[in-house]
Amino acid sequence: MSRRAERTPWLTALALPGAIWLAALVALPALATALISLASRGPFGEPVPPWGLHNYALLLTDPLFARVLTRSLLLGAGTTLLCALVGYPLAFHIAASRRQTLWLLAITIPFFVNFLIRVYAWMLLLQKEGLVNAAAALLGAGPFALLPSALAVWVATVYTFLPFFVLPVYAVVERIDWTLRDAALDLGAPPLRAFTAAVLPQTLPGLAAGAALVFVPAAGTFVIADLLGGGKITLIGNLIQLQFGAAQHWPLGAAASTVLMALALLGLAVCLRAFGAREGGR
Amino acid sequence: MAEASRGASAALDLRGICRRYGDQVVLDGVDLEVLEGEFFSLLGPSGCGKTTLLRIIAGLEAPDEGRVFLAGRDMTHTPPHLRPVNTVFQSYALFPHLTVAGNVAFGLRMRRLPKREIRERVDAALDLVGLRGLAERRPHQLSGGQRQRVALARALVNEPRVLLLDEPLSALDLALRRELRLELVRLQERLGLTCLFVTHDQEEALVLSDRLAVMERGRIRQVGSPEAVYERPISPFVARFIGEANLIPGECRGDGRALTPLGELEFPAGAAPKSSGPLWLAIRPEKLRLFRTEPAQPNRVQARVEGIVYTGSENRYLLDAAGIRLLAETLNHDSEEPGHEEFAAGETLWVVLPPERLVVLADEPPG
């Protein structure tokens, strides 16, 4: 059904601004980061010769780094999972809703407020005298020590990235061919089976896009962990920030960045191969 | 009457089906009986409710009122996956992520049949529709006609009590449509299938059906064999919808005569309505006779040739007779035999509307 537009020089030219943007602001910095990761540490943390793989050797032999990396990947995976559990049904609801525009507005409106301020809002909600504990007190429970905690970091990360999951899934749910579900029912599939056989496969590209858009930044976030984890939960994002800042070790920070980037790209490739490739077959 | 005998040989029996969307009435008390082994067509313009009726039979939609009997059992509230019917959808609705064989096997897998039986029946079904070699293809690798055949095989393989076909040929080009039409008839006869075929294409319905029903605005207007409905339509709507018809308004004068803008026309005495009053006289284009010189026959009218359409086997004349437009069709066999002559645009000629060919229809309020 997706008809490819014919390739003309004009259409190729349309990609130019985007290509320049990506080259200047994504590819070049990524290359620079990879280059710096091969340098040694100067007196102020700046990259200096000699060049080599020593930063990677340092990272890979350090059990702390392995723990931080695992923790970050777990946060990324956990966030993606919860976003899927909440966002997937929500996307169906929105697509079927008569108040679609209102829903989409509600989902995008938080972006009008600065990210930091939204994280501070979570601090207000979760603190000891916060709204959550006040509500719990009304029910005769609590108070709970919600802050700082890993749970708080997780919840706020899910909150932050949920729109990135809902929107791509919503985009595919909107275009679902429901006659395929009818056909499955008609051929004797019970409702749940009809869903998994005829509807779920149609949403895989959206699921893949949503998962990639959530997993990659969620695994690399550091502000949320800083503010809601009480500085006790170190993620790879915190580690990188530390190396470029207080620890004054750019090359090590660059090496950690490169490892994260490589893992993210790998995950993306797996995602696209598993889910997205089907669309390419059309 | 005959309530007991009803359902004995009826594969499908609908009683008083009503369906509303908000305050829009889509189906307004539909009664319909399809017999075992019958090819039955539901014919109507788009929006007349025929697809909704099909979905109600399949169980994909519930009627607001009325009952659905399948093979003698009340299945009004049976969910679709438990009904002994299968549908060929207009868009084919093939599963894009499954192969041809996977698509055809779907229904059998849902019934958890043994693997070997599934394979055998899938092969047999693909043989039946002539797609044996394409079992491992994906739907997007097939042509429209091939997809249509897969959709047919996917439904047939389950041996449904009633095969529901929702305009299955409408997306194909004319030549392919004709070819598949014949194939469908052949299959239906060979397998003794009961088919309910929904279409807006009257030619399709006439060619395929044992019986057909003409639907208009949520109601069934006429049920009968193709010949009966074509030769004896019961309303101007049916006359216009099945084939083409010249409709002439008139005023009944009793004793088989009506006063029309074409003058006084005779019609078969038996067809006269009881009371005098407004009526329509309908006549098919091919039943008109055209003459260069005035014939000695009743119901002759002078007319002018406004236009000619040459369709190959036929000449279609657009005529103007006293302000009434008439369409006449003559076979194109180069004859100067009276009644089969050829005429040029602008010529004046004599049209005869043979009384025995006129169908008298009750006046029908427009809209």
Q: Give the integer Cα–Cα distance in Å for A235 and A224.
A: 10
Contacts of A281 in chain B (CB under 8 A): 138, 140
Contacts of B106 in chain A (CB under 8 A): 184, 187, 189, 197
pTM of the model: 0.80
3-state secondary structure chain A: CCCCCCCCHHHHHHCHHHHHHHHHHHHHHHHHHHHHCCCEECCCCCEECCCCCHHHHHHHHCHHHHHHHHHHHHHHHHHHHHHHHHHHHHHHHHHHCCCHHHHHHHHHHHHHCCHHHHHHHHHHHHCCCCHHHHHHHHCCCCCCCCCCCHHHHHHHHHHHHHHHHHHHHHHHHHCCCHHHHHHHHHCCCCHHHHHHHHHHHHHHHHHHHHHHHHHHHHHHCCHHHHHHCCCCCCCHHHHHHHHHCCCCCHHHHHHHHHHHHHHHHHHHHHHHHHHHHHHHCC
Contacts of A196 in chain B (CB under 8 A): none
Residues B239 and B282: beta-carbon distance below 8 Å: yes
Q: Give the integer Cα–Cα distance in Å for B73 and B53.
A: 18
| CA-wise closest residue to A56 among A264, A261, A262, A252 | A252
Average pLDDT score, chain A? 86
Q: Give the integer Cα–Cα distance in Å for A46 and A43.
A: 7
Cβ-defined contact of A182 to B89 (cutoff 8 Å): yes
Q: Give the integer Cα–Cα distance in Å for A79 and A156.
A: 9
Q: Give the integer Cα–Cα distance in Å for B168 and B201.
A: 11
pLDDT tens sequence across A203-234: 998 998 898 889 888 888 888 888 888 777 78
Burial of B157 (0-12, 13-18, 19+ CB in 10 A): buried
Distance from CA of A264 to the nearest CA of B (A): 28
User: How many CB pairs below 8 A link A and B?
Assistant: 66
Cβ-defined contact of B60 to A182 (cutoff 8 Å): yes
Residues A106 and A94: beta-carbon distance below 8 Å: no
Q: Which residue of B has its CA nearest to A188?
A: B81
Q: Which domains does chain A have, with CATH numbers?
A: 64-113+150-281 (1.10.3720.10)
Cβ-defined contact of B60 to A186 (cutoff 8 Å): yes
Distance from CA of A270 to the nearest CA of B (A): 19
Residues B111 and A188: beta-carbon distance below 8 Å: yes
Look up residue A66 and give its two tokens: 């392995």
Nearest by CB: A185 against B60, B97, B111: B60
Q: Which residue of B has its CA nearest to A190?
A: B81
Contacts of A180 in chain B (CB under 8 A): 93, 95
Distance from CA of B106 to the nearest CA of A (A): 7
> Which residues make Cβ contacts (< 8 Å) with residue B347, sequence separation at least 6?
B304, B305
Q: Mutate which of B70, B78, B81 to test chain A, going by most A C-beta atoms within 10 A? A: B81
Q: Give the integer Cα–Cα distance in Å for A81 and A94.
A: 20
Q: Concatenated DSSP letters for B135-171?
A: TT--GGGS-HHHHHHHHHHHHHTT--SEEEEESTTTT
How much is the pLDDT for A94?
Answer: 93
CB proximity under 8 Å: B 210-239 to A: none
Does the beta carbon of B111 lie under 8 angstroms from any beta carbon of chain A?
A: yes
pLDDT tens sequence across A32-89: 999 998 988 888 878 888 888 888 988 888 888 888 888 888 998 999 999 999 999 9
Contacts of A185 in chain B (CB under 8 A): 59-60, 79-81
Q: Which residue of A has its CA nearest to B151?
A: A183
Q: What is the pLDDT along chain B (367 residues), one digit of tens a residue?
A: 344 444 447 999 999 999 999 889 999 999 999 999 999 999 999 889 999 999 999 999 999 999 999 999 999 999 999 999 999 999 999 999 999 999 999 999 999 999 999 999 999 999 988 898 999 999 999 998 899 999 999 999 999 999 999 988 887 888 888 888 888 888 898 889 999 999 988 888 888 899 999 999 999 999 999 999 998 898 889 988 888 889 998 888 777 788 888 888 888 766 656 566 788 889 999 899 888 888 888 889 999 999 988 888 888 999 999 888 999 988 877 666 666 678 888 889 999 999 888 888 877 654 4
By three-state DSSP, how is residue B293 classified?
Answer: coil
Contacts of A191 in chain B (CB under 8 A): 79, 81
Does the beta carbon of B106 lie under 8 angstroms from any beta carbon of chain A?
A: yes
Cβ-defined contact of A187 to B58 (cutoff 8 Å): no
Distance from CA of B91 to the nearest CA of A (A): 8
Q: Mutate which of A178, A186, A192, A204 to test chain B, going by most B C-beta atoms within 10 A? A: A186
